[in-house]
Amino acid sequence: MNLLFIIMAPLFGALLPLLFKRTPRAVQTLITLAVPLSCIAVLLNYAPATFAGDVPKQFVEWLPALGLNFALRLDGLSLLFVSLILGIGVLIIGYAHYYLSRDDDEGRFYACLLLFMASMLGIVMADNILLMWAFWELTSISSFLLIGYWFHSSDARRGARMALATTGAGGLALLAGLLLIGNIAGSYQFDAVLAAADTIKNHDYYATALVLVLLGAFTKSAQFPFQFWLPHAMAAPTPVSAYLHSATMVKAGIFLLARFHPVLGGTEMWLTIVTVVGLITMLVGAYFALLKHDLKGLLAFSTVSHLGLICMLLGIGTEGAIVAALFHIINHACFKAALFMTAGIIDHESGTRDMRKLQGLMGLMPLTATLAMVVAASMAGIPPFNGFMSKELFLDQAVQQHLFGGLSWFVPILATVGAALSVAYSIRFIHDVFFNGDYKELPKKPHDPPRMMSAPVAILAIMCIAIGLAPMTMVSGILDVAASSVTNASTTVKLSLWHGFNLPLLMSFVAVVAGILIYAARDQLFTFNRQFDGQDAKHNFERIVQRISDRAAQLFDRLDTGSLQRYVAFVLISVIVIMLPSLIDLSAITGGKPQQPIDVVSMVGAIVLIAAAFATATLHRNRFVMLMMLSVVGLMVSLAFAHFSAPDLAMTQLVVEVVSIVLMILALFFMPQKTARASSGHRVFRDIIIASFIGGIVATLNFAILTSPAESISDFFIANAKIGGGGTNVVNVILVDFRGFDTLGEITVLAIAAAGIHKLLNKLKPFMPSSDVDGRPWHRIKHPLMLTNVANLVLPMAMMVAVYIFLRGHNLPGGGFIAGLIAASAMILQYIANGVDWVKGRFNVNYQSLMSIGVMIAALTGLGSWLFSKPFLTSWFTYLKWPVVGKWEFATALLFDLGVFLTVIGATMMILSNFGKMTTRHRPTYEGN
């Protein structure tokens, strides 16, 4: 067995309840229970080592380059938390079985719960601080799912969102803090971080890192001023609250403080921030707990208060304070989980959690009442229960500390106030619900729940008593090791119920008396608080979120105007601003290469190119003329390619020109022939200036590149094309061999685009003009005779050329892409000359399949190399002696090229024939021809 099991079992076990969704609920529960129970078994295997002072570890490399490893440790602190998470988890699962109603999806609940359990276990066992952060975020997400379990309720959704937003934001801060720490320490492994503790504390960024980490801890543990999310998370099913807000989720922040205490703690800053925040949280939480009428609301704020207490102890940071904090973590988990479950039972049995409606349930639910009194007494800090002892320790620490110089005396006083409030709300929980007069009419007549539902509460209540009576046997062992892993020195804990008469005991006594008095005077307190009623944290939070998103929407509206002109102008102006300064000094960027002489033909070509481009821009409002001009531009570019030694490019460009002019004229049929004037005069002026600058920049860049004798990668390809790829046409070898994977991606995109166009045009019924732009009716003859004959003549020739270009592509200019376009052009000509029906009658190929087959051939050729244990798309070639043809090269790249060829034909034809079909199908028939 292996430490990994403890995390992996619940992580993958989360699938089990979903897989067994159809089985009876009891089976689901048992299966779910098996997961944490098996983890406990593994844990017991490791615990002796931890108790002996070792730290069992597990290390699996994950992303070593980022310093992120799946490293786990089980030191004392981890052991303490793992036991709590698993132990309380088992009880919660059993409890939830009885709590959830028939309509609730138990499988989903258990799946989320196990996922949450896994992430919590991950946090406390992580030996790598980045890994810990990953699990930290997982708890945020899984707790979001759990709090929002009843997603039909708006309260649950809002509560879940609030928890996610708050803890998620804290998580981001934490990540930043951890990255800083890891950077300072040079590693993200916890041991390395620990060893670098002094470096970190003396580093310039210590304050930043500390604040960021504390932000993470405080948001998670609902410390002031982030306490607002926790009460709203009470919209969750009670088992979730009992689990998340007693032993797990909110304890993650506390765990973080404890874990990083040896690394970050002990400084002035840590002491001040953590202690003060803890103290404030304790008082604020306790005060609001007393005011809540909702049972779970009371418990939520009391959780906030107790977390504040623990936080304050961790802030003080002496050995005694650490022990007290850890001890209180155990005690709080016991009594708070039990209290939440009790609240759930009361809610479940009576139909309400409102303390103003509940009263006198003692007679109806004697068992529940007895158990509740035990655990509430523990919360209040009444002897002989466990809560009493940790409270004594806390008060002792409050007396002993001297953090605030002359003002230190106010800490014990405030601590006593907090304790008194704690007593008051504990009394309220018991007295309001179980006594306070006789039973009144409630939605349901309550009685004690099934025995098994009370069992978890009973177990926890017994724990409270047992720890209280025999602390040394129950917890001193685990506190020893846990405290020593926090203080980094071996610790021996001495706990006893009776400390003799001393100041803390007196303070406890004062607190109990004051608590009773406060409870008695609670009505005045409610009246006093009523004046603040409008302040609901949820509404404030929603308002802030709403305001932020409104602002964002406004900003977005201002930026995203939907005007393409504007976007292009923005982009181009930024280019000008960024590029211009470095290009102004032309002599600095001119390289040493001499310029070539210019000949007449090139000059004429350049003139035509410039004139046609200029005309395209100026005549753009007359779309047909613009297309003519564009076509000339394309031709001139192709000639330039041919002239400057790029025959492959020239051929491709020429055929692409043919296909695109046809495509654009096809589309033009459905569009206005003239574009309305889109820009006012001054805007045109602005655009001309921008365009001139951009043109100048591009020209300058070209000039700079062409004159500088740059080393280029082409030498490698030229040297390796023949020996590595078996072809002498470097361009083609690059396409089908060196960068074959790119080509595969490109033809796939082409096929997807064609399929998309097919879908878009499928049901389109465009407007079909019955006359041309000048109002002349269309000519009668659909398929002119001369055109038909020429087209029929061109087809076989073009096909032959296509095959020729395809076959020679590997060694001479050509290849599958050009050949595909040539074949497609010849067929387009057939469509134009003879019409869709004529072609369909003679050549009925499904272009969609053709295209898919092409992609598949290319992909399978690539996969084929796996059969010979070579990487994807490794090509192979040989020379065969063929009759008549002679020596001829055969390369797998040729097969790949065949795939390209077919895909190009399929995609091109699919796009064009879809346009064609669209008109034939919907053409008005009144022409009578």
Partner 1 sequence: MLGTILQIAFLLFSLSILMNLWRLVKGPDLPDRILALDTIYINSLALLLLLGMFQNTQTYFEAALLIAMFGFVGTIAAGKFLLRGDLIE
Beta strands 57-63 and 68-73, pairing class = antiparallel
Nearer to partner 1, 228 or 624 (CB): 624
**CB–CB of 654/632 below 8 Å?**
no
Given the rule CB under 8 A, which of 185-193, 271-279, 527-535, 773-781 is the region that contacts partner 1?
A: 773-781
Instruction: Tell me which of 50, 638, 700, 732 binds partner 1, using CB under 8 A.
Output: 638
Q: Which residues in the 719-758 window bind partner 1 by CB under 8 A?
A: none
Instruction: Tell me which of 102, 356, 530, 779 binds partner 1, using CB under 8 A.
Output: 779
Annotate each residue in 903-922 with x if it binds partner 1 (CB under 8 A) or - if it does not, as one string: ---------xx-xx--xx--
The DSSP result for 715-769, as a single string, is: HHHHHHIIIIIS-S-HHHHIIIIITHHHHHHHHHHHHHHHHHHHHHHTT------
**CB–CB of 77/486 below 8 Å?**
yes
For the chain, give percent helix, strand, coil, nearest 5: 75, 5, 25
Nearer to partner 1, 466 or 794 (CB): 794
Q: How is residue 170 written in tokens?
A: 């804290």
* Phi, psi at 369, each rounded to 5°: -65, -45
612 binds partner 1 (CB under 8 A): yes
Partners of 878 in beta bridges:
890
269 binds partner 1 (CB under 8 A): no
781 binds partner 1 (CB under 8 A): yes
713 binds partner 1 (CB under 8 A): no
651 binds partner 1 (CB under 8 A): yes
Name the residue with tokens 């995109």. Answer: 749
572 binds partner 1 (CB under 8 A): no
| CB of 820 vs partner 1, minimal distance in Å | 13
Q: How is residue 172 written in tokens?
A: 């981001």
Supply the angle between the helices 249-264 and 206-220 in degrees, to the nearest 10. Answer: 160
Instruction: Tell me which of 427, 650, 730, 904 binds partner 1, using CB under 8 A.
Output: 650
| CB of 635 vs partner 1, minimal distance in Å | 6
Nearer to partner 1, 244 or 629 (CB): 629
Q: How is residue 644 written in tokens?
A: 């400057």
Q: Using DSSP, state whether 144 is helix, strand or coil.
A: helix
769 binds partner 1 (CB under 8 A): yes
Q: Any residues with CB less than 8 A from the CB of 380 and at least 6 apart, and which?
A: 387, 422, 423, 426, 427, 512, 515
| CB of 785 vs partner 1, minimal distance in Å | 13
Q: How is residue 334 written in tokens?
A: 């016991």
Closest by CA to 74, choosing from 86, 82, 66, is 82
207 binds partner 1 (CB under 8 A): no
923 binds partner 1 (CB under 8 A): yes
How many residues belong to the site for partner 1 (CB under 8 A)?
A: 66
642 binds partner 1 (CB under 8 A): yes
766 binds partner 1 (CB under 8 A): no
778 binds partner 1 (CB under 8 A): yes
Instruction: Tell me which of 537, 635, 761, 803 binds partner 1, using CB under 8 A.
Output: 635
Closest by CA to 758, choosing from 915, 581, 538, is 915
Instruction: Tell me which of 466, 632, 755, 803 binds partner 1, using CB under 8 A.
Output: 632
Sign of the alpha-carbon torsion through 514, 519, 521, 526: positive
555 binds partner 1 (CB under 8 A): no
**Checking phi first, is residue 51 left (phi over 0); if not, alpha (psi -120 to 50) or beta?**
alpha
Partners of 60 in beta bridges:
70
Nearer to partner 1, 759 or 921 (CB): 921
Instruction: Tell me which of 433, 629, 721, 907 binds partner 1, using CB under 8 A.
Output: 629
394 binds partner 1 (CB under 8 A): no
d(CA 313, CA 306): 11
436 binds partner 1 (CB under 8 A): no
666 binds partner 1 (CB under 8 A): yes
654 binds partner 1 (CB under 8 A): yes
Instruction: Tell me which of 440, 643, 674, 759 binds partner 1, using CB under 8 A.
Output: 643
- Listed as own residue / partner, the contacts of 176-181 with beta carbons closer than 8 Å and 24 or more positions apart are 176/212, 177/208, 177/209, 177/210, 177/211, 177/212, 177/213, 177/215, 177/216, 178/129, 178/130, 178/132, 178/133, 178/213, 180/205, 180/208, 180/209, 180/212, 181/129, 181/209, 181/213, 181/263, 181/264
Given the rule CB under 8 A, which of 17-25, 67-75, 649-657, 858-866 is the region that contacts partner 1?
A: 649-657
d(CA 803, CA 801): 5
Instruction: Tell me which of 59, 404, 435, 624 binds partner 1, using CB under 8 A.
Output: 624
Nearer to partner 1, 380 or 828 (CB): 828
**CB–CB of 464/332 below 8 Å?**
no
657 binds partner 1 (CB under 8 A): yes
| CB of 822 vs partner 1, minimal distance in Å | 7
Q: How is residue 426 written in tokens?
A: 């504990």
**CB–CB of 300/246 below 8 Å?**
no
440 binds partner 1 (CB under 8 A): no
Give first-to-last CA distance, the chain, whole Å: 85
628 binds partner 1 (CB under 8 A): yes
Q: Which residues in the 588-607 window bind partner 1 by CB under 8 A?
A: 600-601, 604, 607
d(CA 259, CA 277): 18
Residues that bind partner 1 (CB under 8 A): 600-601, 604, 607-608, 611-612, 615, 624-625, 627-629, 631-632, 635, 638-639, 642-643, 645, 647, 650-651, 654-655, 657-658, 661-662, 665-666, 668-669, 768-769, 772, 778-779, 781-782, 784, 787, 794, 797-798, 801, 805, 813-814, 822, 825, 828-829, 831-833, 835-836, 912-913, 915-916, 919-920, 923
